[in-house]
């Protein structure tokens, strides 16, 4: 359940932060972290 809440918060933050180019780098870094986490689960 916590994972779903965190994911929802991330989506909202990314939606609000769309205009910034730097977000793309953050997204790619976060995606790699998320993929590692899902592998551990």
Note the pLDDT of residue 39. Answer: 78
Domain boundaries, the chain: 2-40
11 token code pair:
């989506």
The model's pTM:
0.39
State the Cα–Cα distance between residues 9 and 15, nearest whole angstrom: 10
Note the pLDDT of residue 4. Answer: 92
Note the pLDDT of residue 37. Answer: 80
Closest CA to 41 of 6, 13, 14: 6
Beta-carbon neighbour count of residue 23 at 10 Å?
Answer: 15
Note the pLDDT of residue 3. Answer: 87
**What contacts 14, CB < 8 A, 6 or more positions away?**
23, 27
Question: What is the tens place of the pLDDT at every residue in 1-41?
Answer: 688 999 899 888 877 766 666 777 888 888 898 888 877 76
């Amino acid at each position: 359940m916590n994972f779903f809440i965190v994911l929802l918060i991330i989506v909202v933050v990314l939606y609000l932060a769309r205009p910034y180019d730097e977000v793309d780098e953050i997204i790619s870094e976060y995606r790699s972290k998320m993929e590692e986490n899902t592998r551990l689960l």
